[in-house]
Structure formats: C-alpha cells, structure tokens
Structure 1
Amino acid sequence: MKLLPALIAAIAVASPAAAQDRPEWSFAIHGGAGVIERANLSPEQDAAYRAALTRALEAGADVLRNGGEALDAVQAAIQLMEDDPLFNAGRGAVFTAAGRNELDAAVMNGSDLTAGAVAGLTTTRHPIAAARAVMEQSPHVMLIGSGADAFAASQGLEQVDPSFFFTERRWQALVKFLTDNDLPIPERPAGAPPAGMASLEPAPPLNERKFGTVGAVALDSQGHLAAGTSTGGTTGKRWGRVGDVPVIGAGTYASNRDGCAVSATGDGEYFIRATVARDICARMAALRDNNRPGLIDCGGDSVCFADHLPDVQVAAREEIADAETLGGKGGVIVMDARGLPAFAMSTSGMYRGRVSADDPTPTVAIYEDEDL
C-alpha cells in the first residue's frame, strides 16, 4: 500500500523513541487557524509569525525545563501572545460590531480537573491570567463581562484602558465586514490613534478568514497536563457572542486521568456543538480500550492503518473531520500523557509549534503541508 505524505509525517512524529521514552516535559502552542497560504504572506510577515511563535515556545520551555508546572508554562506563553498584535487575542483582538474588543479565555489543570474561564473582558490586560484566577481564587468556573473584569481587578491583575487593545488592521477588518454586510460602522474608539497616523502591523491580508485564537498545552516533569486558550472572538460579533474558547470541553480541556490536553481554534459555534476538546480525550480512551480500529480515512480514495499512527494523532484528526461535517472548520493542538503532541486542522494553515526536553530547539510551522 502506498503511504501518503500525511501518514509518513505522522509516523515520523510517532518514532519508537517518542513512543517508548516519555520526555521530562513537552510543550505545544497554536496561534490560530484559517486560510493561511504561502501566496498570501510576504517573507516579512512569514518571518514575523515564526519569530512570535518561537518566543512563546521559549517562554513555556523556560518554565518547564526549570521544573515548573504545566499550568505556569501555558500561562507564560499565552500572555506573550496576548500582548502581540499579530494574534487575535489581547492586544491584537478583533472588534465587535459595536467597535469594542471583548476577550475570552480558559485554563484547565489536568491533575485535578479544576478549570477557570472568562468571557467578554474589556479592560483586563491578560485574559488568561483572569481565567486562572477564577479557577484558583473563586468558587466558580466561568465569569463574564464587567463582573469578570471587576474580579480580575480585585485579584490585582493589570487593568488597561480599552484602547490598549486597538490595532489598525483589526479596525479596518471590522469596517470591511460591516460594509460588506450593510451594517452601520461605529465611531472610531476613544483613545485610538488617528487613522492617518496608525501603523499597520505585519500581518496576513485582512480577508484571510483566520479563526483567531491562541492556545497552549503542556506536560510537566511531574507528569501533569494543562491547557489554556485565549481569543478576541470573531470580527463583527454581536449581542455578546461567546465562542468555544471559554467553554470547558469545547475549546479547552485537560485531564491527567484521560492522558489528554487540548486547545482548539475554529468555528466556535460548531466546536461547541461537537464538544471538540473533550471528545478528543474520549476518542483517545476508546482507542486504548478497543485496541484501535484497523483503518482510518486519510482523504481522497485512500486509507491509512491506524496502527501506524499514535492515538493522539488519530483522535485529533478524526474529531476535526467530524466537526467539519457539521460545517465547522479549524484546528487543534493535543498533548498526550507521554508528551507526544499532535496537530490537526481542516484549514490551509495554523500557526503552531512544539518544543520538549527531548527536542529542546523550538520548531514552528504555519502552512498545512509543513511537518512538525
């Protein structure tokens, strides 16, 4: 049987050493999925994203190589991406139809299944830190809106003027979206730089249809898993829309018991319905319990033998395929209990990367046909 390139890549990821020797720690991130193609990114844009991903990987790796906790690594990397206007999270967040930045985030600790989530933040600089505070310092799992910002402030988390999150390219994307949909354009936000003075950050074209989200999954040297995700949502969202990111089990999930940590990026409405993150963990458990199915669909008129793929890769790929049958596109990063990461997407690209004790040099990718 002829092996497809995707299968060959998957087999390379699941090398005998990786399958048998669990690394001391392992870390993976994503910066959003979407229509991201080589023809649409200039060399400068490509390099800017790769450098940003590498910085985030190094931030997480620094925590883990020094014996730190998985959750700390996840937060460290995501906070860097929240401050980077290249990504749709924090400072690079998209705008709602009303001309606001409303931010969502979630974290989950695999060791005890505790979780925290926030939605609709407008003044908290790091939503991922607010989500962790909800998990550790409140009796709740999810807080929303002004109450969530007030709670974050009460925990000493940095508060900023909403104009802190403004970027010109996201504003222009909103103007185009509203114009194309015959919707009114709100006034330019207070505190934003004048239109003629605003600079455009290096970024893909405004019509890239990127499912902007950032996320991280980690295994630490104690064998604990964690996951976190942060997003600005979708351009032109209305009525307080919230996607899958802060919904535990949809966009974010981690469980030592299941041996699985997941962060998703995609069409939130569909990822919620498919409970993507939790389902991936359930699929992995089923593969272990049932000694795996004989074949999986590898696309086109070909199939691949499941025995040649690690459970984490099979589960991620199958779940993304199922979400697509509902109408939802996107991607996931997954970490298993051995520290083996998996990346799956139904889009032409996903900003992503990995690093581990066994492979300490960060490796990043953007396009679908790039191997990690």
Structure 2
Amino acid sequence: MKNFPLFTIVVAILCTSCDKKEKATEIATTPSEKFCIVIHGGAGTILKENMSDSLEAEYNRVLDLAVSKGYEILKNGGTSLDAVTQAIMILEDSPLFNAGKGAVFTNEGKNELDASIMDGKSKAAGSVASVTRVKNPITLARAIMEVSEHVMMVGLGAEKFAEQNGIELVDPSYFFTEKRWEGLQKAKEREKIELDHAAAINYDLLIKNQKFGTVGCVALDKKGNIAAGTSTGGMTNKRYGRVGDAPIIGAGTYADNATCGVSATGWGEFFIRNVVAYDIAAQMQYKKVTLGEAAKETIQKKVPEMGGDGGIIAIDKEGNIVMEFNTAGMYRAAIDINGKKIIEIYK
C-alpha cells in the first residue's frame, strides 16, 4: 500500500462532498494577511465654502497622521486593538476634533468625555462616560475591557479606576479651547432666542442645531481580527448628564470577526434607538447582505426616518471598507488592503 502524505489525505476527505476545485483552493490558501484601517473625525454640516485652505490642510494632516500610524502598527504585525487605540489617541490629542483635547462644552461649562472599544475576536468590550480628567478616554475604555470584569464605568468612579491603573489624568483646564468655548456661547445665545419664541422648553428642539461630533477607528489585522473604537466630547450645551451613543456598545461601537467592525458618529439619541453599529452587523449575519448594503439601509433609511443624521465607518472580515453618511460631510481616511490611502472631508 502506498504511503500518502497526511495533507493529501485530509484534502481528499474534505473534498468528497463538495466541489473539489473550490475546496482544494480554500485548503491550500495560507492564513490571510489582509489588513486595513479606517478612521473618522465626525459627521455634520461640513461645507468647503466654510473651510479655509489652511484649516482644511490641517484637518487632512491630522487625519493622515492618525490613519498612517494605525496602518504602520498593522503592517508590522501589530493587533487591530493597538492600531485602533493609537489612531484614536492621535485624534483625541488634536483640538480639531470633538474628542479629548477638542471636546465641546456642556451647558455648565465642563468637558465630559465618553469612549468605547471592542475586540471582534473575543467580543470583549470596554467603555467610559462622563469623565473630566482622563487625557485619552480610549485608553481608559481599553483598560476597563482588559483589566476589570466590567464593560462600562462612568464619572468619578471611572476616574478612580483610571488613577489606580496608571491611565494619564490631567487638570480639566487641559481641555479648554477658545473655539469650543465660543461654540458654547453661541449655542446659548441661539437657545435663548428659541426659548423666547417658544411656549415651553423642548429639549429635543434645543439640541437639534448644536454642533456634535465624534472620532473613531476600525481596523483589521493580519490575523483576521477586527477591532473598533469611538471617542467623543458629546454635544455642545448638553445638560442633565446626557450621554450619547459613543460609549454604548452596539450603538456607537461594535466588532465581530464573523461580520464587521463599526464606529458611528452623529446624533447619538437616534443611533442608540436604532442600535446602529450592531444593526449593521446583524443584517450581515441574518440577512446575508454585504457590509455596504447593510450600512446604506441603516444610515440612509432607518436613522433618517426617525429624524436623525450622521454616519459610520466599517470594515468586514474580508477587508472591505465602507464610509457611509447622510450629512454634508464626514472627516474620514482609510488605507485599504492594497495599501491605497484615501483622505476625504466633503460629500
């Protein structure tokens, strides 16, 4: 009797009940080394006519830096979690974006920060809300995921956990920027005008015109693992300890190696009610639609039908990248599985 190599026997067994050529090709394929990354810096009324050339160049520079640093980690064999964390930290450190250093002010004149991160391999997740002293909230969200048995922490308790685990804390004055402070004053002036013409306070109407935004990242590493993260300063002039979708797993952030990773940006109340990030992954899993089809259904149909707006970035398990939004613009950048870089702002 001839001695066949073990690999030949395994292939022969696996091919007996299916198309031989297709299955043989699948078996012979080495582990995928596809890797890619996509980031966003918020969606909203972003028009070229309102943007100076110098400011546009600075937005492009920071977007380029963040996406390139994340991609470099992936290229060198790093994890998607590390790539997402690094890219978001860069965006948090820039005063251009509504997260970290560039966070907007609440009605009380504070900066309250939210963030979340999720590992598509283990479905582990961590999130934080309403912190005022954490320099990079995405690092705290990750520590909550990796060090604690919890998923979400808020406020002073979250800051105490951060201090105990070596997360960098800063004085709240670190987050002050003149641009965001002026934004709060304008929002209050607009609110006063609206109240003068209203019989009663309608909080939904008051917040509708307030500037909001978020930063986020999704990455696929060489081992096929997807991670997603989101960070935000919330909504200008927000009250009552309001928290949006960014720290809510399934709404603002979701990752599952079997389907996709998603980071959202927009009017958080509607993204929570539509469970936007999970909805996209669920459509892929249960309806067997593509990432692009699922994203379009959620962002162009479900969210607007309720009255909300915004966008998402996402990557599926094959490395397909989607950047879907229903606003005038979304700060975004990506490097795909072929190494092609895209940096865009407007529709």
TM-score by length of 1: 0.79
Partner of 1:190: none
Tell whether the 8 Å contact from 2:280 to 2:295 is kept in structure 1 after alignment: yes
Distance (whole Å) between structure 2 residues aligned to residue 111 and residue 75 of structure 1: 16
Of 125, 133, 142, the match for 2:152: 142
Partner of 1:276: 276
Question: What is the Cα deviation at residue 49 of structure 1?
Answer: 0.7
Tell whether the 8 Å contact from 2:319 to 2:337 is kept in structure 1 after alignment: no
Distance (whole Å) between structure 2 residues aligned to residue 210 and residue 179 of structure 1: 14
Offset from partner CA, 1:265-303 (integer Å, 9 cap, x none): 000001000000000001112342xxx5xxxxxxxxxxx
Which amino acid counterpart does residue 324 of structure 2 have in structure 1?
A
Partner of 1:323: 303
Partner of 1:367: 346
2:244 aligns to what SS in structure 1? coil
Structure that is richer in helix per residue: 2
Tell whether the 8 Å contact from 2:113 to 2:233 is kept in structure 1 after alignment: yes
Which amino acid counterpart does residue 266 of structure 1 have in structure 2?
G
Of 329, 335, 339, the match for 1:349: 329
Tell whether the 8 Å contact from 1:23 to 1:358 is kept in structure 2 after alignment: no
Segments of 4+ in structure 1 off by > 6 A? none
Distance (whole Å) between structure 1 residues aligned to residue 189 and residue 328 of structure 2: 26
Offset from partner CA, 1:127-161 (integer Å, 9 cap, x none): 00000000011111000001111111111011100
Runs (5+) with no aligned partner, structure 1: 1-19, 184-206, 293-310
Partner of 1:84: 94
Partner of 1:338: 318
Offset from partner CA, 1:72-105 (integer Å, 9 cap, x none): 0000000000000000000000000000000000
1:85 aligns to what SS in structure 2? coil
Tell whether the 8 Å contact from 1:102 to 1:232 is kept in structure 2 after alignment: yes
Distance (whole Å) between structure 1 residues aligned to residue 338 and residue 241 of structure 2: 44
Tell whether the 8 Å contact from 1:320 to 1:330 is kept in structure 2 after alignment: yes
- Identity over the aligned pairs, expressed in percent? 50
Q: CA distance change for structure 1 residues 114 and 163 in 2, over 3 Å: closer, same or farther?
A: same
Query: Aligned pair count?
Result: 303
Partner of 1:247: 248
Question: What is the Cα deviation at residue 218 of structure 1?
Answer: 0.5
User: Is 1:231 matched up with 2:232?
Assistant: yes
1:117 aligns to what SS in structure 2? strand
Q: CA distance change for structure 1 residues 271 and 118 in 2, over 3 Å: closer, same or farther?
A: same
Question: What is the Cα deviation at residue 53 of structure 1?
Answer: 0.3
Offset from partner CA, 1:141-190 (integer Å, 9 cap, x none): 0000011111111110111000001100000000111122129xxxxxxx
Distance (whole Å) between structure 2 residues aligned to residue 209 and residue 22 of structure 1: 44
Tell whether the 8 Å contact from 1:103 to 1:119 is kept in structure 2 after alignment: yes
1:352 aligns to what SS in structure 2? strand
Q: How does 1:98-109 map to 2 (within 5 A)?
A: 98-109=108-119
Partner of 2:107: 97
Partner of 1:161: 171
Partner of 1:285: 285
Tell whether the 8 Å contact from 1:23 to 1:339 is kept in structure 2 after alignment: no
Which amino acid counterpart does residue 172 of structure 1 have in structure 2?
E
1:343 aligns to what SS in structure 2? strand
Partner of 1:132: 142
Distance (whole Å) between structure 1 residues aligned to residue 148 and residue 43 of structure 2: 32
User: Is 1:40 matched up with 2:50?
Assistant: yes
Partner of 1:181: 191
Tell whether the 8 Å contact from 1:34 to 1:208 is kept in structure 2 after alignment: no
2:42 aligns to what SS in structure 1? strand
Distance (whole Å) between structure 1 residues aligned to residue 303 and residue 39 of structure 2: 21
**Larger Rg, first or second structure (1 or 2):** 2
Which amino acid counterpart does residue 337 of structure 1 have in structure 2?
K
Query: Cα RMSD between the aligned structures?
Result: 1.8
Question: What is the Cα deviation at residue 60 of structure 1?
Answer: 0.3
Distance (whole Å) between structure 1 residues aligned to residue 216 and residue 282 of structure 2: 20
Question: What is the Cα deviation at residue 356 of structure 1?
Answer: 3.4
Question: What is the Cα deviation at residue 363 of structure 1?
Answer: 1.7
Offset from partner CA, 1:104-129 (integer Å, 9 cap, x none): 00000000100000000100101000
Of 54, 63, 69, the match for 1:53: 63
